[in-house]
Chains A and B, each alone.
Chain A
Amino acid sequence: MNGSEVIMRALEREGVEVIFGHPGGAIMPTYDAIYDSPIQHVLVRHEQAGAHMADAYYRASGRVGVCFATSGPGATNLVTGLATAMMDSSAVVAITGNVAQSLIGTDAFQEADVYGITLPVTKHNYLVKNVNDLPKVIHEAFYIAASGRPGPVLIDIPKDVQVAQFTGDFDDIAIDLPGYNPKIKVKAEQVSQAAKAIREAKRPVMIVGGGAQTSSQQVIDFASKTNVPVITTLMGIGAFPAGDANCLGMPGMHGTVTANRAISNCDLIIGAGLRFDDRVTGKLERFAPKATIVHIDIDPAEISKLVYAHVPVMGDLRDVLPLLGAELDKLAIDDWWKQLNEWKTNYPERYKTEKPLVSQEVIEMFRNLTGGDCVVTTEVGQHQMFAARLFPTNKPRSFVTSGGLGTMGFGLPAAVGAAFARRGSTEPVICVAGDGSVQMNIQELATIYRHRNELPPIIIAICNNGMLGMVRQWQEMFFAQRYSEVYLADSNPDFAKLAEAYGLDGYNIFDRETAAKLIPEVLAKGKPAVMNFVVYESEKVFPMIPSGAGLDEMIVGDQEVDEAIEALVSA
């Protein structure tokens, strides 16, 4: 058995069923071993897309995603995908070939210091120098990626290691990581302190983040027992059902009025599996000024990193929430709920439909037709925020979006990765995209076409305003309407024809009547399709908290923009 065969057998042992990758010189021995392996390989058309697919595969299933790339440019193309996975705590194992060890450091053909380049964008990485280390390294990589706070792990394997004869013990894979202890024993006194603080609170809210995707049931149980209002961050969407009466929606820059007012007025926050990102908190000094902060997280480094935690609780939400719930009864917070429900009633989602077709109504049509029982992936921009508010899914691991890194080009390959994770399901995977970001990995339409018969239908819904809409919105509001380099419409492709060129169904849709007719038809077909909705170019995402402002300085709608800008300028 040579190194390459060891790699494939070790991946089989980890239960890997699919690898997203692209071959090249330095990883050819391993691709030779793939030829005989039962593991399916999905040939991507760009390595970045492979990393996003592996990332989304994990997010949609909870099973570690795997991607392959060759040395040099293949590996550097993974970097954006790894950084995306790192920021959103997604378990990915990336395997890269490298030039033979005799050539490392000589500026050989397709050589790059991949170990060095990926250090800051991985949870851990390896450069394997001895073929006999492979079984253990691969087992460790999967263990590190999936345990504790998940994250990507890269294994760089020089070509000579891939071809070397294996003489070690394939079954010697005992984990030997004395510096890594992902299992945190929950401290009973921390839980009791948290329970005490929560009992005393009159206006509590719970904010759940991406960490809660693994503990959705525990969040639901906790909320139903205590009647605490629940806010879901962008990464937390689906961890608590959006349709639940206790759900207040998303907080932060483009959050709901109710969620942001709740935070600004609450006297206690139960932060569960979130890292208080700046898009969630707004200006820190103005964030939840009256609140006692109870912060539950599996990563101690997140506690008091940005928002001081009065009551830290370190541990896995799956362990902490049942313990905490056991110490609590239904909270007597009727007055608070009265206030929250008043905000909910007074500030529903709203947008104008007397203008041309707008993204929001397209997204709502999908939401109404699917009932939120589907996987939603998004690109990055205005459509992402519209989707987060209008198309939150009902179940965990089903709203897949690049939250931390905000990676344009994520959504389309993420739809492919999520579809592989949900093989056998008839629920569609809907990629809500913009005309700008969808073009950043559009080549993966080929991958969708190739696997069209084995995957749930992937619908790419492009909200095409002919603009880089989010940048345009900021330019309109904060850069004196100087629209610098945001115009795309004159040179966008005909997306329907483009889809057809890849063998897929494509539709260009210009009005709401056609949209209303075609969306159900396309969903009923159960086939992949690209639906290009030409929408109003100047639509803006509201509510909005301008960058650097506090959650209490929210701009609810157009009419308030001028006042808010005035206030910001004079401040």
Chain B
Amino acid sequence: MSIRKHVMSVTVRDKPGVLVRIAGLFARRGFNIESLAVAASGQEGISRTTFVVTGDDQQIDQVHKQLEKLIDILNVTDHTEAPYVERELMLIKVKVVTPEDRVEIRQIAQDFRARIVDAHREALIFEVTGGEDKIEAFIGQMRTFGILELIRSGRVALTRSAADPRMQLELSDEEVAA
């Protein structure tokens, strides 16, 4: 059985403690969670939690089934089973020593479509959105200059749907970015 990363999401009823139920389940069953992001789903009273979990098929099957047993969980989706779009947001503060650094950093940021959200003589803060590879690559590039601080939102994901024109748009946008 192959051990791999799965991006999964659950829709939950907005009840007090529902996040604790999910986190507690992961902890006590020894599931290995890499990231977890919680946000409103667009439907009133329902939130969406996206997480990345590593495991073999049997472990992932257990994650899926054990989550489904929680009363307040409405739906569990393993995005890895079908084409999906994933995004993560990162804020990263990069050290600027020389004017040459500044030019170079800004050039790289442009290539990554990272936005400057705060500029200072000694540091720049960028907002970067994308898949894990892009985020990791940007971090790698910035390491040369010195990373002062960074924070990542954790991944969020949606399954692609060919019937949904917005998804098509999203797909082509991604292609352009790549």
Contact = CB atoms under 8 A, between A and B. Distances in A.
A119 B22 CA distance: 10
A115 B58 CA distance: 31
A127 interface: yes
B26 to A, nearest CB: 12
22 contacts: A116-B17, A119-B17, A119-B20, A119-B24, A120-B24, A120-B28, A123-B71, A127-B17, A129-B16, A178-B13, A179-B13, A179-B71, A179-B72, A179-B73, A179-B75, A299-B69, A300-B65, A301-B62, A301-B66, A301-B68, A304-B61, A308-B58
Given A144-B71, A308-B58, 5 more contacts: A120-B28, A178-B13, A300-B65, A301-B65, A301-B68
B21 A180 contact: no
Given A120-B24, A301-B66, A304-B58, A115 B17 contact: yes
A119 B75 CA distance: 20
Nearest to B13: A179
Interface of A: 115-116, 119-120, 123-124, 127, 129, 144, 177-180, 299-301, 304-305, 308
A180 B15 CA distance: 14
Interface of B: 12-13, 16-17, 20-21, 24, 28, 58, 61-62, 65-66, 68-75
A300 B68 contact: yes
B20 A116 contact: yes
B136 to A, nearest CB: 34
A179 B12 CA distance: 8
Contacts of B65: 300-301
B50 to A, nearest CB: 17
A180 B65 CA distance: 12
A129 B16 CA distance: 10
A120 B66 CA distance: 12
A101 to B, nearest CB: 12
Contacts of B75: 179
A304 B63 CA distance: 12
Contact of B70 (A129, A179, A300, A308): A179
B70 A305 contact: no
A177 B71 contact: yes
Nearest to A127: B16
Contacts of A120: 24, 28
A116 B74 CA distance: 21
A123 B20 CA distance: 14
Which one of B16, B58, B69 has the greatest number of beta carbons of chain A within 10 Å?
A: B69
A304 to B, nearest CB: 7
Contacts of B66: 301
Contacts of A180: 71
Nearest to A153: B71
A47 B58 CA distance: 39
B154 to A, nearest CB: 23
A305 B71 contact: no
A124 B16 CA distance: 13
Contact of A178 (B16, B28, B70, B74): B74
Contacts of B73: 179
Contacts of B58: 304, 308
Give the 7 A-B residue pairs with the shortest CB-CB distance, closest first: A301-B65, A179-B74, A124-B71, A180-B71, A179-B73, A300-B65, A301-B66
Query: Which of A116, A127, A129, A180 has the largest count of B CB atoms less than 10 A from its CB?
Result: A180
A305 B72 contact: no
